[in-house]
Structure 1
Amino acid sequence: MAKLYFYYSAMNAGKTTTLLQSAYNYHERGMRTRILTPMLDNRAGEGVVASRIGLRANGMRFARADDLLALIDADIAENGKLDCVLVDEAQFLSKAQVWQLSDVVDRRGIPVLAFGLRTDFRGELFEGSQYLLA
């Protein structure tokens, strides 16, 4: 049974490294993953997910208004079976996108691993984190 997981921790705690390691572990077993990364995060380049220790992978960029279920369905139609979706900087998801990811899990049977911050520097929940926790 597929599930939606939310891994959160402080900045510089290794979330992206863990995401990239998870993707590697799936690939090592012959499974296909899709990494999603928000358009506003272009620190390592557009569509590149990179850890501070030098690991990197290409990701599919998404905007706040994008329908993530539709993006995943299009990816499957183009590339075939998908075994896992990994989301970097998940705190930037909208409420609707969190629900779309839950549809990826419930309707498509694909596990989703989301990684991000829980709160901002004032201790306020990010929107994406709020609904991932809920």
Structure 2
Amino acid sequence: MAALGTVNPAALRRSAFLGTPANAQSAPGSLALPPPARGAVRIEAAQKLLGTVVSMKMQKTAVVEVVRQVPHPRYIKRVRKSKKYFAHDEEEECRVGDYVEISPTRPISKHKTFMVSNIIRRAS
């Protein structure tokens, strides 16, 4: 058991990835936020995502793969996670391999809730 006022080394490593002070995780009565109440609604701001177009086989729809790096919950090493989003492309100007920005929009179909807002880099 650690003495009062000392910091757990594992908490130091973890805090570097999670962006919180190490002593906020281990100190009792710290200023960390309490967990949300059961059944609470989580509100998130509208987000723009960056990704690569991997398919254009549907009409006016681009399949965009977004890659994120998240810390592994147990081993803390950063792991690449990817997810594919269906994005509406009205003019069908995207091509496979393009690096695009997609933004959320109203549901256009069962799976399409994003729209291609900007083509950042064309595929060569």
Q: Structure 1-normalised TM-score?
A: 0.23
Higher relative contact order (CA closer than 8 Å, sequence separation 6+): 1
Instruction: Report the structure, 1 or 2, having the larger helix content.
Output: 1
Larger radius of gyration: 2
- Judging by fraction of residues, say which structure has more strand: 2
The TM-score with structure 2 as length reference comes to 0.24
